[in-house]
Amino acid sequence: MKTDKFIISNKNFSSRLIVGTGKYKSMQECAKAIKLSGAEIVTVAVRRVNITDKKRPLLMDYIDPKKITYLPNTAGCFNSKEALRTLRLAREIGGWKLVKLEVLGDKKNLFPEMIETLKSTEILTKEGFKVMVYCNDDPLMAKRLENAGACAIMPLAAPIGSGLGIINDINIKIIRKQTKLPLIIDAGLGQASDAAIAMELGCDGVLVNTAIAKAKKPFQMALAFKNAVIAGRQSYLSGRIKKTLYGNPSSPKSGII
Amino acid sequence: MKKKIKIKLNGKLKAINNNSTLFNIVQKNKIPLTKVAIELNQEIVDKKKIKSINLKNNDKIEIVHFIGGG
């Protein structure tokens, strides 16, 4: 089989599954789930250090940023100013330039605020950031993000944490056809088959957090997502058969006794 | 007794000695410097220079790190 490369911002990854590190019961559980998922990129949030509890475990002690690519996000930011501040701080922690931009517009549905997102993408790109952009599934907006310098387009499948799976597969297909940038489904997946569907639509990868972290058995679900992403990608590359309305026998029609 | 000044550290009001540097605060709070970023009054601070940054009354310090997130 021809080498199937997953390249983001000139870096080659072998796993097309990106996982979030939030919502786990413990750091240990999070670290084990990541290992089982095979993910090489994990999203992380930027927050205040707990000054009062100095013994609180640190994420970096459980997930080694030298082995796993940290993708700092801007979760919780509702405008460009907050997002820029967060990512500049993230870069300062240890030189992170590859970032996930996520500017939300509404606390209930957590949909992205696309005007602020676009504005932030332009500024961050000029500052030398490599910006993977969480966005809605609008092909026109995806194009504008691409023109603004995004290094990956990451449309939602459905609202963050909803587990609804891909709601608008037509738009995802259109975005796939129009862009050569990595296309990664971010948010809204609920089970492993959702990831397989995303990959079969031609997406380059998926980003999953809640579906793994909040599954009854997170470790098993991490494995399931790993396998679903591989299966979906292979299925996409294999070229599926055409759909037909009527049956077509699998065994030869001749030589029937 | 040394004169005190008031600063805000990660949103919490603290009274510190008026000749304190940012480095003193980092040291006192056992902050692992390689794993954090520091802002002083909304300006990012070069971590290499914190020994020479003297704190003033009403300074606002934010020290952030990475935690789990999606």
Question: Where residue B37 sits, what CATH number does that domain have?
Answer: 3.10.20.30
Contact flag A44-B47 (C-beta cutoff 8 Å): no
- Distance between CA atoms of residues A227 and A38, nearest Å: 10
CA B61 vs CA A48, B13, B20, B52: distances in Å = 10, 10, 13, 15
Task: Look at residue B66 and tell me if it is in a domain.
Answer: no
Examine the residue annotation and report whether A100 is marked as an active-site residue of this protein. Answer: yes
The burial class, CB within 10 Å (0-12 / 13-18 / 19+), for B70 is buried
CATH of A6-238, picked from 3.40.50.720, 3.20.20.70, 3.30.2130.10, 3.10.129.10, is 3.20.20.70
Contacting residues of B for A94, CB less than 8 Å apart: 34-35
Q: Which domain holds residue B11?
A: 4-61
Task: Look at residue B67 and tell me if it is in a domain.
Answer: no
Is the Cβ–Cβ distance between A48 and B62 less than 8 Å? Answer: yes
The residues spanned by each domain of chain A are 6-238
Q: B34 at the A interface (CB within 8 A)?
A: yes
Q: A170 at the B interface (CB within 8 A)?
A: no
CA B15 vs CA A134, B8, B39, B45: distances in Å = 41, 9, 18, 21
CA A224 vs CA A26, A85, A111, A183, A187: distances in Å = 20, 36, 27, 21, 17
pLDDT score, position A2:
65
Of A49, A161, A187, the CB nearest to B64: A49
The residues that bridge with B44 in the sheet, in sequence order, are: B39
Contacting residues of A for B10, CB less than 8 Å apart: 48-49, 51
Q: What is the CA radius of gyration of chain B?
A: 12
Q: Which two tokens stand for residue A94?
A: 């240890």
pLDDT score, position B1:
61
The more confident residue out of A11 and B3 is A11
Q: A88 at the B interface (CB within 8 A)?
A: yes
- The region, left, alpha or beta by phi > 0 then psi within -120 to 50, assigned to residue A108 is alpha
pLDDT score, position A166:
96
Contact flag A20-B37 (C-beta cutoff 8 Å): no
Give the 3-state secondary structure of residue A7: strand
Residue ranges of alpha helices (H) inside A95-217 are 114-126, 139-147, 169-178, 192-200, 210-213
pLDDT score, position A58:
87
Cα–chain center distance at A160: 11
CB atoms inside a 10 Å sphere around CB B56: 12
Q: A72 at the B interface (CB within 8 A)?
A: yes
Q: B29 at the A interface (CB within 8 A)?
A: yes
The residues that bridge with A22 in the sheet, in sequence order, are: none
Average pLDDT over residues B27-49: 93
- Distance between CA atoms of residues A226 and A206, nearest Å: 10
Query: Kind and range of the H or E element at A207?
Result: strand A205-208
Of B31, B47, B68, the CB nearest to A30: B68
**ipTM score:** 0.92
Of A22, A60, A92, the CB nearest to B70: A22
Low-confidence spans in chain A with pLDDT less than 70: 1-2
Task: Look at residue B33 and tell me if it is in a domain.
Answer: yes
Task: Look at residue B68 and tell me if it is in a domain.
Answer: no
The pTM of this model reads: 0.92
Give the residue from chain B lying closest to A208, CA to CA: B70
The burial class, CB within 10 Å (0-12 / 13-18 / 19+), for B69 is buried
- Distance between CA atoms of residues A102 and B29, nearest Å: 31
Contacting residues of B for A85, CB less than 8 Å apart: 42
Interface of A with B in 172-191 (CB under 8 A): 187
Residue found under tokens 């922690």: A93
How many distinct structural domains can be found in chain B? 1
